[in-house]
Amino acid sequence: MSTITNPVSASPTAETTSERTGAQTVWETLVRLGVDVVFGYPGGAIMPTHDAMVQYPVRHIRVRHEQGAAHMADGYARASGKVGVAMATSGPGATNLVTGIANAMLDSIPIVCITGQVASPLVGSDAFQEVDITGVTLPITKHNFLVRRVEDIMPTLCKAFYIAGSGRPGPVVVDITKDAQFAKAPFQWSDSPVKLPGYRPEHRPQSPDFARAVKLIEEAERPIIFCGHGIIRANASRQLSEFVEKTDAPVASTLLGLGGFPASHPRALGMMGMHGESWVNSAIQQADLIVALGMRFDDRVTGNLATYARGAKKIHVELDPAEINKNVKVDLPIIGNVRDILEALTPQLEKRVRKAWNASIDAMRSEASAHDIIQLPDAGKLHPAHVIHDLWQLTKGQALVVSDVGQHQMWEAQYYKHEYPKKLLTSGGLGTMGFGLPAALGAKVACPDDEVWVIVGDGGIQMTQAELQTARQENLKVNVAIINNGFLGMVRQWQEFFFDRRYVATPISSPDYVKIAEAHGLHGQRVTRREEIAPAVARAREAPCTAVIEFCVEGEDSVYPMVPAGANLEEMIRRPPTGGQSQS
C-alpha cells in the first residue's frame, strides 16, 4: 500500500489525472469540495466506498441508525452553514435516511446523502437490498441522482453540492451503483462551474420594487417585521438590525428565525404563531404593515387565514418564488436574497421613531409577563418552564441548544432567549421527534468549542437514544436535558383541550435514564426539585463526556398561550389563573 497519497497535498497535475476507482473518486471529490466529516453506516452496496475512505483525510462518524446520520448531517449543516454529508448502503440503509431527508427538505437544510445501490445489471430486478431510493425520495429532495458509471461520479457530486447549498437550500440524494464504485477511470478534477442549464437559484430584485417598499414602509404607522429562517441562512442578522434601527419597527420571529435577531433587543418581541406570546400575535393582528423576511407563512404561524392580519399590507421578501401568495396574499413580493435586499433597501429609508406603537406593544407585554409562569413560585414542584429558564440563566444564554419536538420545544422557544443566529437548532417544518440528540452530535462536530445542550422529551429521547453510544465512541460531549413528564406531552395537551381529556396512547413510561447513561459509559443524573437544577447543570458541564440529566417534571403542564389549529390568531387559550397547572 505504498501508493497511498494524500489527495489534499497532491497537486492537480500528474497525480490527479491517474486512474481511480469510483470509490476513490467519491473521496477525491468530497475532499476537494471541502468535506472533512461524513456521518454514515456501512453495508453491502456502499462497502467499496467505505473501504477506500481510509486513504483520505475525512472523519467518519458511524451512527447507530441511518436516521441518526441524516439528522447529524442536518445538525452539522445548520450549525456550520456548510453542506452536511450522510452515507448509507442500499435498501434499508437508504430508507432509514428518509425521515432525516424529509426533515432537511421541510426546513431547507443543505445535506447530500450518498447511498450505495445494487450493481447496475441488477437494478430493477428486486435484488437483495434493492430499493428505488431516487423514486422514494423524489418528492422530499431538492433533486436526486442515480449514478451508474464511474465517469459520472465526480460531476454528479459537484452538481449535488452546488444544488444543495445554493438558492433555497435542501437535501440531495446521490445513489451510486456498486459496480460504478468498483470500476476504474481516469480522474481529472475540474474547477469549472457546474453545468446545470435548467437551474436558476438566484433572482435579482427589480428596483421599482424597492421604491414601492420604501413608500409602504414610510406610510405605515404600525409596521411589524418578521424574522424568518431566511435571515439566518443568509447571514443577514446585521442587515436586519440596521433595518430595525432605521424603521423602529418591532420584530417577531418564526420558530426557525429565533436567534436571527437578538432576544435582548428592545424591539425583539419573540416567537409568533400557535405558541407565540400574546403580545406578539396581538401586535400582528393590529399592524398596518408586515415586512416578512425569509419566511413562508406556515399554518403554525398564521392560524385562520381568513382573519389573519387583515389590517396589514404585506411585503414578502423571499428567495423562492413558489412561496409568494401560496398561503397569504401579499401586496409586494420581492424575490431574492434577503441580505442583498436589506442592504439595498435600508439606505433608502428615512429614520423613524414610533413611540406610540412600540409603547402599546410594551404595555401588552408587561401585562402578560406578570402572569407568566416564570413569575410564579415553584411551590416545591418542578415545572418544565422553570427548568428551561434556569438553564438559560446558568448558561448565560450562550449555549448552542438543540431541541427535539413537542412541549419542551415550545418552552425552549419561549424561555431560552437566543442572542445569536445558529444557536438554536430545531425541527420546525416536519416536527420530527428524535431529531434532537443526533442533530446535536452533528452540531458538536461542526462547533467543537460550543457548549451544546439537547433539550428533549421522554418520548423523543426514546426514539433515537441509541446515538448516546455514538457520542461515547466518538468522544462527543453534549449535555442532554430530558424533560420527563411521563406523557407525550403535546399530544396529551391537545387531548386535554380538544378530546375531553381522553389520554389515549400518550402516557409513556421511561427507562432509568441515569442507568441508561451509565450503561453507555456516560454521566447520568436525576433532578426532581428546582434547587437541584443548578448543581446538576454544573456537574454536567464539568463532566468530560456527554452528560444526561433527567428532569422529572410536573406531568400535566401545558404550553400557553395556545392558538388552536385553524383558529383566529387572537383566540388564544391562556394559562388558567390558578398558575402553572391546569385544573385536573
Partner 1 sequence: METKRRTFVVYVEDRPGVLNRVASLFRRRGYNIISLNVGRTHEVGVSRLTMVVEADDDTARIMEANLYKLVNVLSVEDITGTPAITIDLALIKARVTPQQRADAIDLAERFRARVTDVSAETMMFEITGTQEKIMEFAGELKPYQVVEMVQTGTVSMTRGGEGYASEVARNHKPNATAA
Residues that bind partner 1 (CB under 8 A): 134-135, 138-139, 142-143, 163, 166, 192-202, 320-322, 324-326, 329
DSSP letters, 39-57, are: EE---GGGHHHHHHHTTSS
Sequence-separated (6 or more) residues with CB below 8 Å from residue 124: none
Q: Indicate which residues carry an active-site annotation.
A: 66, 128-129, 178, 490
CB 446 within 8 A of CB 76: yes
CB 164 within 8 A of CB 114: no
C-alpha cell at 452: 451544546
For residue 100, give Cα distances in angstroms to 427, 460, 467.
10, 14, 14
**Number of neighbours of residue 385 by Cβ within 10 angstroms:** 26
Instruction: For the chain, state the CA radius of gyration.
Output: 25
Query: Exposed, middle or buried: residue 89 (CB in 10 Å: 0-12, 13-18, 19+)?
Result: buried
For the chain, helix, strand, coil in percent to 5 are 40, 15, 40
In degrees, rounded to 5, the angle at the alpha carbon of residue 140 between the alpha carbons of residues 138 and 145 is: 40
Cα 512 from Cα 539, distance rounded (Å): 19
Strand pairing report for 19-21 and 184-186: antiparallel
CB 291 within 8 A of CB 244: no
Cα 188 from Cα 145, distance rounded (Å): 21
CB 322 within 8 A of CB 347: no
Start-end of H helices in 188-236: 207-219, 229-233
